[in-house]
A and B are shown apart, each in its own frame.
Chain A
Amino acid sequence: MALLPEVKADYGKLKNFVNGEWVESSTSKYLDIENPTTAKPIGQVPMTTTDETNAAIEAAREAWQSWRETPPITRARLMFRLKEIMEGHFENIARIMVQEQGKTIDEARGETRRTIENVEVAAGIPSLMMGYNLEDGAASGIDEEAVVTPLGVFGAICPFNFPAMIPFWFWPYAVASGNTFILKSSKQVPLTQAYIFKLVEEAGFPPGVVNLLNGSHEVADAMMEHPSMKGISFVGSTPIAKYVYKKSAENGKRVQAQGGAKNSLIVMPDAVLPRTVSNMLASFYGCAGQRCLAGANLIAVGDVAEPVLNKFVEGAKKIKVGYGLDESVNMGPVVSGAAKKNILGYIEKGIEEGAKLVLDGRGIKVPGYEAGHFIGPTVFKDVTPDMTIAKDEIFGPVVAFMAMDTLDDAIEFVNSSPFGNAASIYTQSGRSAKDLRYNVHAGNIGINVGVVAAMAFFPFGGFKDSFFGDLHGQGRDAVTFYTDRKVVITRWF
């Protein structure tokens, strides 16, 4: 099938968006942005300096007071305007994501929809941000109220796997709540946000209210250290999430840091097999396994193990791998050569430790894209809970299949993981579903759903080493994270 057109072949050198203007970084250090399907550069991203980061934070700080005084309904109108503008650019946003990240056009369109949904939810800020009061709450004739108030400058440090959506788990809520914002996009996939920020500019947010910085750890460290930053939102791997949590807290900031995952999908003997397998294929191989909600371990309970494995492998073999701009492709490449090398290392490790490779995606060739970072659907069987591939986050299209005797065994295994992002069960039994949702220590539970991705009006975040902090991203949690409650007690003489 013919490919959908790329938005541009080359996006050139990216600029930062600071204080309402597009500014070129003074750095001499630029990295290539690579299309993972072709392994060719499609732009260059600057490694913004500490001084430039500090200047952006100062601009955001200066913009805060007048933004905070802007009524919530006016702030909401800007969100409505942004939503309308983004709808008009829906397809371009999705196609840029395919180009720089490698996901399929369906996945990118789905992500664009979720991105806009966060703007829609943030547009409800006049209701979301209401405080509460109690007449005669303190004593007779003395009223008490809690006023929800913004705090200042917040920032987010974002990963490569969802270039459009993840920044929008944060900044629309922070800004709609009356804060100003510094967004650092991923250096691997900065094009999508660079494009979206042209739309943010068009929407007419006042200068300094929303700022975009490109770069690496130098920008992130400056954000975590600057005294004017009130809080940091982060999504990435667990070691970096721990670092961000600790460093931000040491500097007196609020922090929400989402880390890695190792999600298990449990199939019970009473599962509806064809629907279960189809749904699991989407979980394990969607976004080439690079979702923090992707399935990683497939656990079959009881005598269903063999039919589940056979059906799953049969379905996995039919997954069409290629360039995501071909609408018939089911799975694209992984994001980079380094990511591919890491995943291949885990496949080698699985073999070394005695797991049996029943579907090997290592040698896949995609005609026309021989240099692309492709790994085909891969399935290991005879995996045991102590193996590395059953424990570590691989972040690729690799399935560790395990057979267990009982649901209790499966739950015990799931809870033995240091991660607690998501777990799913496939069953027609309410009892089994209840056992899982009650007993598993994870932030997202799926009942016959393998990608437990909270909608914009629900909080998103994991447990244990998958999340550091207390308030999650999106919805009411996000508004609470970016605001505080000021109690006012009133008496009139």
Chain B
Amino acid sequence: MEDFEFPECTTFGSVIRFALELERAAMAVYDDLAGRPDLAQAAESFKALSAAHKKRSDVLEHTRREKLNEMILEPIQDLDGSKYKIETKVPDGVDMAGAKAFSAKMEEVSGSFYLDSSEIAKFLLAEAARILERMGKESQANKAKVEAL
């Protein structure tokens, strides 16, 4: 399993970095689940979720480049990143129920991060806030998807 580094959320860049780490971790988790023979019946769904998270990473990279406005780069002092760190190592030998619960929890925490950070970003970077909010809603939808597998 890869290592993931979740930074303090004190700047716009570090919030986006945190989000990119969430996406990278989600891709790794779903790729891992898709490759497990015991979970073969859901492999295609896990692959699709991994691809969706890859696409979200690209959106975040684009957001970092294009939605940042130099004149309102305020320090972020009220977003506690430690609340949103996700478990990234899928337990060995996990069964389908365990896999669903593991990934649902990951999507739930990640959804909370996006929705909470979109509230904070609202005054700082309205366009980025909209993207973060949309991602939060997508994470909630992903949670429902994995629970329905």
Contact = CB atoms under 8 A, between A and B. Distances in A.
A and B, one complex?
Answer: yes
A106 B77 contact: no
A8 B66 CA distance: 25
Contact of A106 (B5, B12, B123): B12
B73 A106 contact: yes
Interface stretch (A108-116, A194-202, A257-265, A347-355): A108-116
Interface string A22-44: 00000000000000000000000
Given A327-B17, A330-B11, A282 B68 contact: no
Contact of A327 (B13, B70, B72): B13
Contact of B5 (A1, A109, A451): A1
B127 interface: no
A206 B12 CA distance: 39
Nearest to B124: A278
A489 interface: no
Contacts of B5: 1-2
Given A327-B17, A328-B14, A1 B74 contact: no
B64 interface: yes
B72 A318 contact: no
Interface of A: 1-2, 87, 90, 104-107, 109-111, 113-114, 275, 278-279, 281-282, 285-286, 315, 318-320, 327-330, 449, 451-453
A285 B77 CA distance: 14
Given A1-B7, A106-B11, A327-B11, A278 B69 contact: no
Interface in B65-83: 65-66, 68-75, 77
B70 A110 contact: yes
B13 A105 contact: yes
A287 to B, nearest CB: 9
B71 A328 contact: no
A294 to B, nearest CB: 11
Most A CB contacts (10 A, CB to CB) among B72, B73, B74 go to B74
A453 B72 CA distance: 10
Contacts of B14: 1, 327-328
Interface of B: 5, 7-14, 17, 64-66, 68-75, 77, 123
Contacts of B70: 107, 110-111, 113-114, 451, 453
B65 A113 contact: yes
A328 B11 contact: yes
A113 B72 CA distance: 13
Contacts of A1: 5, 7-8, 14, 17
Contacts of B123: 275, 278
Contact of B8 (A90, A105, A109, A328): A328
A453 B71 contact: yes
A10 B75 CA distance: 31
A371 B70 CA distance: 28
Contact of A451 (B11, B17, B71): B71
A417 to B, nearest CB: 22
B69 A330 contact: no
A319 B8 CA distance: 12
A37 to B, nearest CB: 16
Nearest to A104: B11
Contacts of B66: 113
Nearest to A451: B71
**Chain A to chain B: the 5 pairs with minimum beta-carbon distance, closest first:** A110-B70, A327-B13, A328-B14, A1-B7, A451-B71
B72 A449 contact: yes
A109 B68 contact: yes
A58 B13 CA distance: 44
A111 B64 CA distance: 13
Contact of B75 (A105, A109, A275, A281): A281
Contacts of B8: 1, 320, 328
Contacts of A453: 70-71
Contacts of B69: 110, 113
Given A320-B10, A330-B10, A110 B77 contact: no
Contacts of A327: 7, 11, 13-14, 17
Nearest to A282: B74
B76 to A, nearest CB: 9
Contacts of A319: 75
Given A1-B14, A105-B13, A327-B17, A110 B7 contact: no
A449 B66 CA distance: 20
Given A113-B68, A451-B70, 12 more contacts: A1-B14, A90-B65, A106-B12, A109-B68, A110-B73, A113-B65, A114-B70, A278-B75, A281-B74, A327-B17, A449-B72, A451-B72
A460 B75 CA distance: 25
A228 to B, nearest CB: 35
B82 to A, nearest CB: 13
A285 B74 CA distance: 10
B11 A329 contact: yes
Contact of B7 (A87, A315, A328): A328
23 contacts: A1-B7, A2-B5, A104-B11, A104-B13, A106-B11, A109-B64, A110-B68, A110-B73, A113-B68, A113-B69, A279-B74, A281-B75, A282-B74, A286-B73, A320-B75, A327-B13, A328-B9, A328-B10, A328-B11, A329-B11, A330-B11, A449-B72, A451-B71
Contacts of B72: 279, 282, 449, 451
A87 to B, nearest CB: 8
A106 B63 CA distance: 12
Contact of B13 (A106, A279, A286): A106
A361 to B, nearest CB: 15
